[in-house]
Chains A and B, each alone.
Chain A
Amino acid sequence: MVRTVALLLAALALGAGCDRAPVRAVIYYNLSQVAASAADDHYQQFADVDGAVVDLGCLVVERRQVNCYDNAGTGEPNLRVAVVECDCPCIDAEADPCDPSRPAVRAGIIRGLVNQSDGAVILGGVDIPTEVELSEATGLFITREPNADPSPQPSSELILDGALYRDGSVVRGALSSPTSELVEGNVTIVPVRDEVSL
């Protein structure tokens, strides 16, 4: 009996140690004036972590019906400037999930919207979970990448760039364009870490 109880307790303890979450941080953006991606390019995010450049994945910006009920009340979809997370180099297309009869869209997950007004309401905001630990990141930049570019390294076409700094539990930064373009943004990275444990 004692052995049985011990085995059951051991099974409980083992079970408790399984299944950890893969997400290590959530990146929150507000992006303004970011242009829609051309069919042959995409955006790619990078972070500076401990002096190394870390790939945070690719994005495209395209006008999408981000929620299939979202239309003008006439059946015509409301198309909004959406940020779609996609697998680099983002060459795959898929049927529009809201209406397959429409032109195909870039394959990926809609993560939010580029800032835009809708009457009195300001739409916008992007959140992207990542498996990369970013609590020590010191910089973040976004490049425009040709779809045909096989290199995982960032291209020279820098769209947004900014230094990151620790602000309490989060890492924060303002992103600006190195050129005279109006594009700008803010980013906050929230590490997936419980900091109030005793």
Chain B
Amino acid sequence: MVAIAAVDSSSAVAQSADVVDIEIPAVVLESRPSQIEEAAAEEDLTQTVLSVAKRVETVEAASSIVTVVTRDTIDVHGYTDLSDLLDEIPGFEGYRPAFYYQSSEAFARGNARTILVLWNGVPINSPQTNRRALGPYLPINALERVEVVSGPGGVLWGANAFLGIVSATPQRELRGDAISAVTATAGASPRASGEYRASAAVADQWLRGRVKLYANLGLVSTRGAILTPPYDLTSGPFPAPDSDGAFQLRPSTGYTHNARDTWMPLTLAADLGPLKIDVLYPVIDRQFREFNDQGLRTDQFVGQDGMLVVGPSSQRAESVTLGSVQLDRDLGKSLHVAARAYYTGFEDRWVRLVKFPAGLLGAEAILVDETYAGMNPYLHDGAYRYGASVDVTRARGWSTTIVGAEAYREGIREVRRSVSGGLAPGDFLLIHPGQRVVTSAFVNEELDVSRRLGLELGARGQYAPGAYAPLVLGSAATRVGLARNVNLKLHAAQGFRPPAFEQTNGNDDARTNPFPHRQSNPDLKAERSLSLESELNARLVADAGGLRWLALRLGYQYTRLDDLIVFGATGEPENANRRIMSSIELRGEAAITGGHRLVVGYGFLTGEDLETGPLRNIPEHRLAVDVEARLARRVGAFLGMVMSGPVEDIDRLPVTSVDGSATAWSSMVVVDRLPASAKLNLGVRASGLMGGHLDLGAYVMNALDSQYPIADPDFERREAIYPMTAPGLDARLTLGWRM
């Protein structure tokens, strides 16, 4: 096992030419916490060793476009989840809620459901939906670092590395040689009403560090955003045959009145010699939708007898359970083997999903639950994936070869919907159970032809018999050293997104599934992505005046998505669409003497959908500017601004009746032009006070309380009458104690 400390410039430069260390499949960075703490503001991201390429290399030498976010940055910026983090990275957008906040999406290059999320190297995208919600189920407090790759990574990482990878590496020890730590955060704000967060962590090591244990139990409890919708939704269009129907609305009863959401994720990381064990388990996952009608709290509903009932109404579960064992062994000087076995379980369902409006399905008012049949209520495994992988790396002088193979089984249990009340109570089948065995193998060869020229070729075969057609993917890259510390990289990469079970296994028999829904298609193919990228990166200045270093990367990307699944005129999904994007990503970083840092990230994106035209709901310009200042030896401050260019959002114009209710017809289309927006974030953090025990932080997110409108995830859907508004300011205080 190779331990990689915070890498200084000199060693990293050497590594870019002579590969010496190998870590597969995901590097667990180990460093003395005190070192990191002191050097935090001086870490040059262009030199940071990364793991997403399944081998150790520098950011500037890696074929992909990589951004590394360290624990210090997470602390100083006060990120509450991975969505916050992604929002500041060029090419990504972290958080865009769908209408009425029932779900949110993260975007890579202007497209949702395109990001593979790894937890210490284990994919945690659900096979039911292909997505991974980035909420509190993935506790950011337990993370050591996050590596974000822009662009496809299908050759090395397989399914769902479609347009980006978020690789989260959990902590394995506490800072300052502590063996326990607690943090508590409280805030009061329109964005997170009544929110409090806490976590408790313990870490220790025995047998000269050969045995380590890290455990973190988190708690997030919040009433969510306070929002003032213009109308309460009585009923909206359902999927086909009603995908174009009218919205029925009534005057708003005021601001949202949310029930309390609570999450309690448990993170375990243990090292037993060469074995690394990771566990992620959602002890509590209780999330209500953000809106209810009639001014009711979101855990309330009116029963058939007209009486108010308080209970688990419209409760959502999106959690992930993970268990992984990884073995790393060096076999001689040049051979390294990493083997892993893992299990991941997913929940993506509603409890008490919908209170159907009166008259629909012949019922007055009915409630439904969604469950996975046969599910152990103590195991969150409605959908699942388990398997094993082996990666072998051979590094010989100027050649590094990685050969890997993987086999896994993934599937979904039967999804049923039970209906209580109404004229037709019963138990209905929504999704048929299904599973598929997937096997794959890849090879990746990297040649350092000279100090100035590197070449990389990769290929992957993926075979899922009976599920989707075999896939062959390729990648090619070259790195040319144009001058000292100046590199030009060209990269061609492919990715794919397998058909999600919810689109292949739906029950379309109306006798057993009378609910309006989109059809499914068992013959769907995998969607494909191709990216042609160029990047110029350079360390322009080193130790000049007050500037410790200045690093810059600038790249152009041409991205094409083929066989995209769209819904045909009869509602059946089919592989019939294509999108093409052109983008520019720029990231500049300057370290200034005294521990200060300035980071500028800019992304330009323009794209075209073959069916619907330009990606009008995606901003062409996104700019993030971060200033990290070290105010005193133990006190750091952060000022960040994320600016987003104007977008368009297709909505409907409600027509109000004399009684105040409104109808939004499908032809009353309006294209809302949403102006450019800016979000200002501030933070101050003092660490290591009181003999190294106390950490204090104060954060104000969206300090200008900007209630900017947010476009829907899809321009063409018209599933909303207005764009959602951002929920405004969020102020928090956090306190941590290490012992």
Interface residues of A (CB under 8 A from B): 1, 5, 8-9, 11-12, 15-16, 18-24, 26, 28-30, 66-75, 78, 80, 97-98, 109-113, 118-127, 129, 167-170, 185-188, 190, 192-198
14 contacts between A and B (CB under 8 A): A16-B582, A21-B613, A28-B666, A69-B508, A112-B666, A113-B245, A120-B235, A121-B360, A125-B667, A127-B244, A170-B670, A186-B665, A194-B613, A194-B616
Contact A69 B245 (CB under 8 A): no
Q: Per-position contact with A for B221-257: 1 when CB-CB < 8 Å, else 0? A: 0000000000000010110111111101000000000
Instruction: Count residues on chain B whose CB falls below 8 Å from chain A CBs.
Output: 70
Interface residues of B in 586-626 (CB under 8 A from A): 606, 608-616, 620-621
Q: How far is the CB of A59 from chain B (nearest CB, A)?
A: 13
> In the assembled complex, which residues on chain A have CB atoms less than 8 Å from the CB atom of B611?
21, 23, 129
Q: How far is the CB of B566 from chain A (nearest CB, A)?
A: 12
Among A71, A80, A126, A194, chain B packs the most CB atoms within 10 A around the CB of A194
> In the assembled complex, which residues on chain A have CB atoms less than 8 Å from the CB atom of B645?
196, 198
Interface residues of B in 295-309 (CB under 8 A from A): none
If A66-B241, A69-B509, A127-B244 touch, whether A169 touches B648 (CB-CB below 8 Å) is yes
Contact B558 A123 (CB under 8 A): no
- A59 to B665 Cα, complex, angstroms: 21
> In the assembled complex, which residues on chain B have CB atoms less than 8 Å from the CB atom of A113?
241, 244-245
Contact A23 B613 (CB under 8 A): yes
> In the assembled complex, which residues on chain B have CB atoms less than 8 Å from the CB atom of A78?
241
Contact of A198 among B513, B569, B572, B620 (CB under 8 A): B620
> In the assembled complex, which residues on chain A have CB atoms less than 8 Å from the CB atom of B609?
21
Interface residues of B (CB under 8 A from A): 235, 237-238, 240-246, 248, 357-362, 453, 480, 488, 490, 508-511, 513-514, 516-517, 519, 532, 534, 556, 558, 560, 569-572, 578, 580, 582, 606, 608-616, 620-621, 645-648, 650, 663, 665-671, 673-674, 716
User: Residue of A at shortest CB range from B570?
Assistant: A67
- A22 to B397 Cα, complex, angstroms: 52
Contact of A29 among B359, B511, B646, B667 (CB under 8 A): B667
Among B242, B609, B648, chain A packs the most CB atoms within 10 A around the CB of B242
If A120-B248, A124-B245, A195-B648 touch, whether A8 touches B558 (CB-CB below 8 Å) is no
Q: How far is the CB of A182 from chain B (nearest CB, A)?
A: 17
If A75-B511, A122-B246, A196-B647 touch, whether A68 touches B235 (CB-CB below 8 Å) is no
Among B246, B357, B570, B665, chain A packs the most CB atoms within 10 A around the CB of B570
Contact of B242 among A20, A123, A169 (CB under 8 A): A123
Contact A28 B667 (CB under 8 A): yes
> In the assembled complex, which residues on chain A have CB atoms less than 8 Å from the CB atom of B517?
69
Q: How far is the CB of A173 from chain B (nearest CB, A)?
A: 10
- A186 to B248 Cα, complex, angstroms: 18
- A176 to B70 Cα, complex, angstroms: 63
> In the assembled complex, which residues on chain A have CB atoms less than 8 Å from the CB atom of B519?
67-69
